[in-house]
Amino acid sequence: MRGTRRSRPQRGATVIRARVTGVGSAVPKKILTNADLEKLVDTSDEWITSRTGIRERHIVSEGEKFSDLCTKAAEIALKRAHVKAEELDIILVGTISGDMPFPAASCLVQRNIGATKAAASDVGAACVGFLYGLHLADALIQSAKAENVLVIGGEILTRYVDWTDRNTCVLFGDGAGAAVLQATKGDHGILGSRMKSNGNYADFICMPGGGSNHPANDPKSIEQKLPYIKMKGNETFKIAVKAMADITAELLTEQGFSKDDVKIFIPHQANERIIDAVGERLKLPPERVYKNVDRFGNTSAASIPIALDECLQKDLIKTGDLVLLTAFGAGLVWGSVLIRW
C-alpha cells in the first residue's frame, strides 16, 4: 500500500537520488567456532547458539590490517559499480576500530585505492557506522556536494575483546563491506533515512581506555583492562529491539510505504533473538528478514554491508525492490535507511 511520499530536493526538474551502484565485502580467512571458544572460557556451543544464534565468526590473524579489509571490499564495490577510484568525490568509513586513532582509516583507504581527488573522513557510530555513512552520502549527493561517494562499514573488534570475558568474547567477528553511491536521476536510490542517538546510555557499550581520558600509553590502562569492550548486554538488548522496530516503522510511514512493500529487511546482525524480535514487532514474514549472524557474529559497522553483499550475490534483490536497512549500537545510536534498488 502506498501513500504520499515526502517531497525531495531537486536539481532542475528531476529528483536526484543517491543510487547504490556497487557493493563488495571482505572477511578474514580464519574462522573461530563456538567449539574453539569452549576451550578459552566457561561457555558452551549450546549457550552461544541459543542466546545469540552465532555458530562461528571470521577473525583477523596477526598482521592482518583493518585498512586492508576495507581496501579489498572497496575495490570489489568499485569494480561492480564500473567506477574508477579517481572518480570518487569522498570516502566515508564507518568504524570504531581503524588501524590507529589517527590518521583516519578513510585516508588509508584513499591512498590504497588511489582515489586521488577524494576527500576522506571516518564516521564513528559503532554498529550503525555504515548507515550513518549512507545518511551522510545521501545528503552530500542531494545537495550537489558530491556525485560519487564510497561508503565503507568495517570493524576489527576482536582486537579489543577481552578473551577472558565470556559475556563479550563470544559475540564479535571481523570484516568490512563497501558501497558505491552515485548521483542519478529518477526513482532508484536512497528514498529516506533516519538516524538517532541517546548519549545517556553511553556506558551501556563502551571501551573506556585508548582515548584521551585513559590513553593506551598509560600503564594503568592495561592494568585495569580499560582498552577492552565492556557491555551491559541484557539492558542493551531491551532498548535495541524497541528502538530498531520504532525507527524502521517511522521511516516506512514517513516514506508512504507499508511492511508489505518491503522486499528484504536487513537488520544489524548482533543477535538472532534481537533480529527475530524486531521482525515480529514489524510483522514482517521471517523469509523477508535476512540473517547471517550464525556465520559472522557481530561485525559491528560491517554487518549490514556484508549481509547486503550476500543478498545481492544470492540474487535476492532485483532492480526496483525496496530494501530496508536498520542498525543499533554503542552510543547508543540507531538508524534506518530505505532504498529503492
One residue of 126, 178, 244, 308 binding ligand ACO per CB under 6 A? 126
Q: Looking at beta carbons only, is 257 or 328 nearer to ligand ACO? A: 328
Of 48 and 176, nearer to ligand ACO (C-beta) is: 48
- Residues with Cβ within 8 Å of 143's Cβ and at least 6 positions away in sequence, in order, are 9
Q: What are phi and psi of 98, to 5 degrees?
A: -65, 175
Question: Is 127 one of the annotated active-site residues of the chain?
Answer: yes
From the candidates 34, 148, 271, 298, which is the catalytic residue?
A: 298
Q: Which of residues 67-96 bind ligand ACO (CB under 6 A)?
A: none
Report CA-CA distances (Å) from 280 to 81, 165, 265, 275. Answer: 34, 31, 12, 9
- The Cα angle at residue 265 between residues 323 and 160, in degrees rounded to 5: 110
Note if 135 is an active site residue: no
Cβ atoms of residues 61 and 28 within 8 Å = yes
Q: Which residues pair with 324 in a beta bridge?
A: 265, 338
Longest dimension (CA), the chain: 63
34 assigned to active site: no
The answer to the question of residue 271 lying near ligand ACO (CB under 6 A) is: yes
Residues 288, 53, 306, 313: is their CA dihedral positive or negative?
negative
Residue 143 CB neighbour total at 10 angstroms: 11
Give the CB-nearest residue to ligand ACO.
233
Chosen residue from 51, 65, 80, 263 binding ligand ACO by CB under 6 A: 51
In the complex with ligand ACO, the residue whose CB is nearer, 76 or 134, is 134
Closest approach, Cβ 315 to ligand ACO, in A, equals 29
Task: Write down the catalytic residue from 107, 127, 169, 311.
Answer: 127
Query: Which residues contact ligand ACO (rule: CB under 6 A)?
Result: 43, 47-48, 51-52, 126-127, 166-167, 170, 205, 233-234, 236-237, 240, 270-271, 274, 298, 300, 328-330
